[in-house]
Amino acid sequence: MKILKMRLENFQGVKELEIDPQGESSAIYGDNGTGKSTVYNAFTWLMYGKPSTTEKNYTPKTTGSHNLHHSVEMTVELADGSEMALKKDYHEVYKTIKGNPQPVLSGHTTDYSMDGVPVSETQFKKNLLEIYHDEELAKMLTSYNYFLENMKVADRRKILLQVCGDADFNEVIESQGDLLRELPEMLRKPGKAENYYTVDEYRAIAAKEKNLTDKELDDIPQRIDEAEKAKPDVTGLDAQTIDNTMAEIKEKRRELESQRAARESGATTTIRQQIAELESQRAAGEAKHARAEAEANKGAYERISNLRYMASTIETDIMHTEQDKREHENEIQRLNRRREQLLAEWNEENEKEWTGSEICPTCGQQLPAEQIEEAKENFNTAKAQNLETINKRGMTECSSGMIKKEQDEIEALDARLVELKEKKAETAKNLATAEKAVLATTDYKDTAEYRQFTEQIESLQEKLKDARAAAAEADNVLSGQLKELDARLEAEQSKKAQLAMIKKQDERITQLEKKEEELAAKYEQLQKGIYLCEQFVKAKTKLLDEKINSRFKTLRFRLFIEQQNGGIADDCEALVPCKTGLVPFKSANNAARINAGLELIDTLAEYYGVELPVFVDNAESVTKLTQTQTQVIRLVVSEPDKTLRFERGDK
């Protein structure tokens, strides 16, 4: 679309102005404050009802003016060569009020016409949208700096990638040869045949898993050390030697028992068997105790953790319960206040007495008795109704039942608090006990079980002693031999339990070392995945830079920023050429910014297939404009021109 001619009337201080570019690039000259920017505002107001600036509550009216028509007329040439005449007329509406001879301002209205035919606002906008598609696009194509200065970075990136094309995933992979060949498989979602994470999704997941894996790796040496410390000293011990020794002891013991059985009665035999069984149980208990001691600390920390979590949960429950209690107490206070209010209202209403006049206000005579009585009856009926209404409000808003319900809730909460505080105290006690138990070890001989076995054995031994009272001195020698063998057997069983503990801890250490190797391999793979993602982003960055910047002659875009941690952040900074290289758009001089904006508009107009006139303010700073296919209306500051002056053509 190109402007053929344009006319302003009473528009923002411009009483009348007509220009006829005839589709050519032209210039409007004027001193500061003469209304150059007003021409651009008139164009945007006509096209989509807003000024070229961000001004809110914009009006085309000249300040202090009344009863005038504020209009913009414009004839344009469309892409197909046809012409279209547009007009928008904003004016005041007056109405006559009864009793006032002068019309009064009642508001404003806007009239629309196309090719001289009046149309509705809806039809006017609809027809224009067929030309420029949407307001945002119109701003980008008519203002050289709107895209580069006013739009958000994310929006600029989105449009550039849409216009110039994004970098395809496979294209990026292929651009790096074998470097990124493993990345597609890394991005595959578990259990999904053809479903993949994005590079950003995978990088975030991998970074989180790497941190967790690193923490697990750091924890394993400590756990291995704990297992090493749990191993008893078994220097000089051999499992086979112990088994052989125990077999010899047991065989000798059987021989001695056979000798004793030959001399002793059945009663003593039974007692000896009971003693042997208890001694065997005690030895087994000692072995079990040794194993339990090795596992004690493992469960202690878990119990401490559980108790701490339980304590935290109870404390939270107490806090919430106390909060609930306060809320119910506040509600009771509110209900009581409301009851007092309604009671005061009721008392006030109840104390009211009929105060009507018994004298007719018209004739001054005494009213009939029945009329006075009717008035009193009506007063009392109304009073009774008001009292009933207050009572009903009391029943629905603050009844005693409602207060009782809140009190019941408070009692339940008090009971709950008592229960929770008891649990809190119990949990604290258990926690203290658990914490004291950490790393604490006890000798089996100091346990109640050992003492119980020993007491039972000693009791039986006393019985056996009494039964053997009549035995010969040789039997005493035999008993001593048996005790010696039992002591030796107990010692060998203890050694065997120590070896079993060593084996269990070695197995635990082997498991931990294997897990450490697996975690190290996983950590390395995650590290590699993160590295490949970073290389992918850098490769994509390079491709996008090349693809987008190839669409422009001099203008360049920086789409990414390399951060201090080595990562890449999205950006969309326009870079403008200068004598020393490239500078950011906002740092360039005005001429460079204008030419960069025109170059961008050419590319956008070609992509969207929409051509609109470009308005360039402060164009006096540009000695040579970039060649463009669009119509350029230059707004030039010219001190000698105290009124606006129009020149057709690009001079």
- Concatenated DSSP letters of 188-214: BPTT-SS-B--HHHHHHHHHHHHHHHH
The reply to whether the predicted model has a pTM over 0.85 is no
Q: Give the number of other Cβ atoms within 10 Å of residue 516's Cβ.
A: 17
Give the pairing type, strands 14-19 and 556-562. Answer: unpaired
- The pLDDT value recorded for residue 407 is 93
- Please say whether the beta carbons of 465 and 264 come within 8 A: no
- The pLDDT value recorded for residue 567 is 67
> Which residue, 145, 245, 217, is CA-closest to 512?
217
Cβ neighbourhood burial of 433 (10 Å; 0-12, 13-18, 19+): exposed
d(CA 585, CA 573): 8
Angle between helices 266-350 and 448-467 (to 10 degrees): 150
At residue 19, the 3 state secondary structure works out as: strand
User: Encoding tokens for residue 354?
Assistant: 């009929």
Partner residues linked to 505 by β-bridges: none
- Please say whether the beta carbons of 575 and 582 come within 8 A: yes
- The pLDDT value recorded for residue 138 is 93
- Concatenated DSSP letters of 74-128: EEEE-TTS-EEEEEEEEEEEEE--TT-SS-EEEEEEEEEEETTEEE-HHHHHHHH
Q: Give the number of other Cβ atoms within 10 Å of residue 409's Cβ.
A: 17
Per-10-residue mean pLDDT for the chain, 651 residues long? 95 92 92 89 92 83 85 94 95 85 87 95 93 91 91 89 82 84 85 78 88 89 86 77 86 80 65 85 84 70 84 92 92 91 91 84 82 88 91 89 91 92 92 74 79 87 75 67 84 81 86 90 90 85 83 86 73 85 88 91 91 91 85 92 87 54
- The pLDDT value recorded for residue 551 is 85
Partner residues linked to 224 by β-bridges: none
User: Encoding tokens for residue 224?
Assistant: 């291995």
- The pLDDT value recorded for residue 539 is 86
Partner residues linked to 18 by β-bridges: 7
d(CA 367, CA 360): 6
- The pLDDT value recorded for residue 392 is 92
Cβ neighbourhood burial of 460 (10 Å; 0-12, 13-18, 19+): buried
